Amino acid sequence: MTLQIYGDRISGNCLKVKWTADYLSVPYRWIDIDVLKDEAKTPAFLALNPAGQVPTVVLEDGRVLAQSNAIITYLAEGSDLIPVDTYDRAKMLEWMYWEQYSHEPYIAVVRFQRHMMGKSADQIEPRLIERGYGALARMETGLAGRAYLASDRATLADVALVAYTRLAPQGGFDMQAYPLVQAWIARVEADLNITD
């Protein structure tokens, strides 16, 4: 059985799983789940993932794994996307945990509301936009004097954070004040051969 990735290509969380599998040449079958049509809430999907969320993967042995950062960590174990140095590995995890708590809830949510739901900026809760800009500022500071977030090469931290950062303009975020972030996006896209 081939790895199966259940995901929606509008989701950065799903794309990071796809990009990791592609970069590592992991064979998989992509199964489209349209979250806008609540396809992750069907009885068949809920039997796989009771949380009703994508991405979800079914491993070659039939076991199921959810949550994007858990999935990419599983896929990348032993690869160059996870640093050997224990401090660099811990920094990678630090950025990945931060991404899910302090970045994705703002950048991704504003992007979804603006780009997918067609809301105007004045219809978005101002705190979300403010915290989104705060996340971009934190990344700009974190990239000062370095090419990547956690190590001297791309790691899962970069995979995790590039997913929605590259889409921030779709949420109306002005990236002009973040030249280091813009250069980092281009670098990570090139390193991982990201084209979606």
Same domain, 95 and 185: yes
Same domain, residue pair 72 and 90: no
Residues 36 and 57 in one domain: yes
Query: 63 with 138, same domain?
Result: no
pLDDT at 195: 84
| pLDDT tens profile 75-86 | 999 999 999 999
SS3 161: helix
On whether both 109 and 186 belong to a single domain, the answer is yes
| Domain finish residue from 47, 76, 105 | 76
Q: Is the dihedral of CA 173, 183, 15, 17 positive or negative?
A: negative
Domain for residue 81, yes or no? no
Reported confidence tier of residue 182, pLDDT bands at 50, 70, 90: very high
Domains contained in the chain, number: 2
> Rounded to 5, what percent of the chain is helix, strand, coil?
55, 10, 35
Residues 115 and 180 in one domain: yes
Q: Are strands 56-58 and 64-66 parallel, antiparallel or unpaired?
A: antiparallel
pLDDT at 1 over 90: no
Assign residue 11 the CATH number of its domain. 3.40.30.10
End-to-end CA gap in the chain: 26
Query: pLDDT tens for residues 123-141?
Result: 999 999 999 999 999 999 9
162-179 confidence digits (pLDDT tens): 999 999 999 999 999 999
Q: Judge if 69 and 112 occupy the same domain.
A: no
Q: Are residues 67 and 105 in the same domain?
A: no
Q: Are 132 and 43 within one domain?
A: no
| Cα gap 92→7, rounded to integer Å | 24
196 pLDDT above the threshold of 90: no
Q: Which domain holds residue 104?
A: 86-192
End position of a domain, from candidates 21, 43, 76 = 76
- Over residues 93-114, mean pLDDT: 97
| Domain boundary pick from 76, 111, 136 | 76
Residue 171 lies inside a defined structural domain of this protein: yes
Letter string b/e over residues 76-106, b meaning 16 or more CB atoms within 10 A of that residue's CB: beeeebbbeeeebbebbbebbebbeeebbeb
Q: Determine what percent of the chain is predicted with pLDDT higher than 90.
A: 98
